């Protein structure tokens, strides 16, 4: 984990108030572990792939209202510290409650609270990290925040791997999965204590007009576009919101200024993001039934996340220097082919050593493609959107991802109930269809057409 609160051109600048980033990193350990242990627990309770689809869909769709609500309350009241604490306490309680019930509906509800809290806190912590810094340092601060979050997320998956593998050696695999909620809830609880002790004080209010030092949404969105996202989270939880400033997002204004090329690209994104969720939603059930168990499943997700994280910088450089659409289409085609191959390799080789290696290589490759796709999507949307709505267009893209997460999760779960091969083939087909539509708009982005922006 990085120790400097800001990495500006390689020169760390430390601020005592930035100790709260460790609290957010600790909370991310809980979020990262919960992203997989809850689906595995549902499988242990007898939930099939369709139930996992519903679980993932509900988690995806609660994110947008959470981010919108908390972001706007932060603007109106300036009480950013209290909002973050409320979100962390809510997530802690929800994680702690899950293993106390065997009712799947209650687990789905608790999981929704976890991801509502995560999505709600995300825009507020973004405001906190830039609040006391000059605008020239915002991108570096957001990048630093993303690194704390990304490393915490990966550590949550690593904890899940070690806990379930070790627990299965001394108890049943189901017991190992169920007891994992204890350290995750402890990490979330400790993050509440650390946040209460270290979060910066709220800014002074200016009478009824609200706080006096809130950074404007447009400037924060520009910083977000420049920041390295270190997207461990999105690699394994496709329906989760990107780190986007939703303040002032008006879908009607964005829709009114859609260019044909931007509308076509949003269609492409809806297709391939739906495909991603259709693959990941039933995946824990598939891996469990194939024999990988909770420990093996955690390990494979960790491989996927780490591969995405290490490739993000290189993908960003390629997207900046080369043809963004062709780069993305290449990543989409590779991913569209890889998703069904996971089913083929898993079914053919099972949980043998060779099977784990083969599926692990496929998972790593899927993670690499996520880095390419995530970076290039921001570049493409920015270039296609009219200058007046570029920041809002990125917010609309993030919201579209949540919508696609809901649709794809239900679709993937429903198809997987009939056959995992069918579900993963459909997921791959949706990704390839999205690649075809993206390729059709490529000339407008990279070829200097009317919608291109240099």
- Which has more confidence, 130 or 366? 366
Structure confidence at residue 332 as a pLDDT band (50, 70, 90): very high
pLDDT, mean of residues 298-310: 90
pLDDT, mean of residues 266-286: 95
CATH classification code of 16-202: 1.20.1250.20
What lies within 8 Å, CB to CB, of 193 at 6+ separation is none
The total of other beta-carbon atoms located within 10 Å of residue 207's CB is 6
- Which uninterrupted H or E stretch holds 12? strand 11-13
- Which has more confidence, 135 or 219? 135
Q: Average the pLDDT over each of 20-29, 162-171, 196-205 and give the range with the smallest value.
A: 196-205
pLDDT in tens, 169-189: 888 889 999 999 999 999 999
CATH code 1.20.1250.20 region(s) in the chain: 16-202, 252-453
What's the CA gap between 288 and 283, in Å, rounded?
9
What's the CA gap between 300 and 281, in Å, rounded?
15
In this predicted structure, the answer to whether residue 431 has a pLDDT above a threshold of 80 is: yes
Q: In this structure, what token pair is assigned to residue 215?
A: 């950074």
For 39, 329, 377, 384, the CA distances from 453, given in Å and listed in that order, are 42, 19, 14, 7
- State the pTM of this model: 0.86
Q: Report DSSP state, residue 450.
A: T
The distance from CA 329 to its chain's CA centroid, rounded to whole angstroms, is 21
What's the CA gap between 261 and 21, in Å, rounded?
39
Structure confidence at residue 79 as a pLDDT band (50, 70, 90): confident
In this predicted structure, the answer to whether residue 447 has a pLDDT above a threshold of 60 is: no
Q: Average the pLDDT over each of 80-94, 118-132, 301-315 and give the range with the smallest value.
A: 118-132
In this predicted structure, the answer to whether residue 5 has a pLDDT above a threshold of 50 is: no
- Identify which of 70-84, 113-127, 327-341 has the greatest average pLDDT: 327-341
- pLDDT reported for residue 450: 41
For 131, 256, 258, 263, the CA distances from 250, given in Å and listed in that order, are 24, 10, 13, 16
What's the CA gap between 256 and 97, in Å, rounded?
44
Q: In this structure, what token pair is assigned to residue 280?
A: 């990941």
- Contact at 8 Å (CB) between 401 and 434? no
Written as one string, the DSSP assignment of 188-222 is HHHHHHHHHHHSPPPPPB-GGG-BS-PPPHHHHHH
- pLDDT reported for residue 30: 96
**Correct CATH for 252-453 of 2.60.40.1230, 1.20.1250.20, 3.30.465.10, 3.90.1150.10:** 1.20.1250.20
At residue 92, the 3 state secondary structure works out as: helix
- pLDDT reported for residue 10: 40
pLDDT in tens, 47-69: 999 999 999 999 999 888 887 78
For 3, 102, 291, the CA distances from 175, given in Å and listed in that order, are 36, 13, 17
Q: In this structure, what token pair is assigned to residue 99?
A: 């293993």
- Mean pLDDT for the chain? 82
Residue where the block lists tokens 């990193």: 25
pLDDT, mean of residues 110-116: 95
pLDDT in tens, 349-364: 877 888 889 999 999 9
For 34, 336, 415, 435, the CA distances from 273, given in Å and listed in that order, are 22, 11, 17, 11
pLDDT, mean of residues 104-115: 96
- Which has more confidence, 236 or 97? 97
């Amino acid at each position: 984990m990085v120790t400097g609160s800001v990495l500006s051109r390689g020169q760390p600048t430390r601020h005592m108030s930035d100790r709260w980033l460790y609290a957010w990193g600790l909370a991310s350990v809980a979020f990262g572990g919960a992203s997989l242990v809850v689906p595995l627990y549902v499988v242990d309770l007898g939930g099939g792939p369709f139930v996992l689809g519903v679980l993932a869909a509900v988690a995806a769709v609660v994110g947008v209202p959470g981010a919108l609500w908390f972001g706007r309350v932060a603007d109106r009241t300036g009480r950013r510290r209290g909002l973050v604490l409320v979100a962390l306490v809510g997530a802690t309680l929800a994680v702690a409650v899950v293993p106390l019930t065997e009712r799947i509906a209650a687990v789905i509800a608790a999981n929704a609270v976890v991801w509502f809290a995560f999505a709600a806190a995300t825009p507020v912590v973004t405001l906190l990290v830039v609040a006391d810094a000059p605008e020239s340092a915002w991108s570096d601060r957001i990048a630093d925040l993303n690194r704390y979050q990304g490393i915490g997320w990966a550590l949550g998956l690593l904890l899940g791997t070690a806990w379930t593998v070790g627990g299965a050696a001394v108890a049943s695999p189901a017991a190992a999965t169920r007891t994992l909620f204890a350290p995750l809830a402890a990490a979330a609880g400790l993050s509440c204590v650390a946040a209460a002790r270290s979060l910066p004080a709220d800014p002074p209010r200016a009478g009824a007009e609200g706080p006096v030092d809130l950074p404007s949404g447009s400037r924060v969105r520009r910083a977000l576009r420049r920041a390295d996202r270190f997207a461990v989270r999105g690699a394994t939880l496709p329906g989760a919101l990107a780190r986007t400033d939703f303040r002032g997002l008006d879908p009607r204004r964005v829709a009114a200024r859609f260019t044909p090329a931007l509308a076509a690209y949003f269609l492409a994104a809806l297709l391939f993001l739906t495909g991603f969720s259709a693959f990941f939603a039933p995946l824990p059930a598939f891996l469990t039934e194939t024999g990988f168990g909770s420990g093996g499943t955690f390990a494979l997700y960790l491989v996927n996340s780490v591969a995405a994280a290490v490739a993000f910088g290189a993908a960003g450089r390629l997207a900046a220097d080369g043809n963004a659409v062709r780069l993305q289409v290449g990543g989409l085609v590779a991913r569209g082919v890889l998703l069904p191959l996971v089913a083929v390799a898993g079914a053919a080789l099972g949980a043998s050593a060779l099977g784990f290696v083969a599926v692990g290589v496929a998972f790593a490759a899927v993670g690499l493609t996520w880095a390419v796709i995530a970076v290039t999507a921001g570049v493409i949307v920015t270039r296609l959107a009219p200058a007046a709505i570029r920041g809002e267009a990125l917010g609309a893209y993030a919201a579209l991802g949540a919508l696609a997460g809901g649709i794809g999760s239900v679709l993937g779960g429903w198809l997987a109930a009939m056959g995992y091969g069918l579900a993963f083939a459909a997921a791959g087909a949706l990704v390839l269809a999205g690649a075809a539509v993206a390729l059709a708009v490529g000339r407008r982005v990279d070829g200097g057409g009317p919608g291109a922006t240099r």
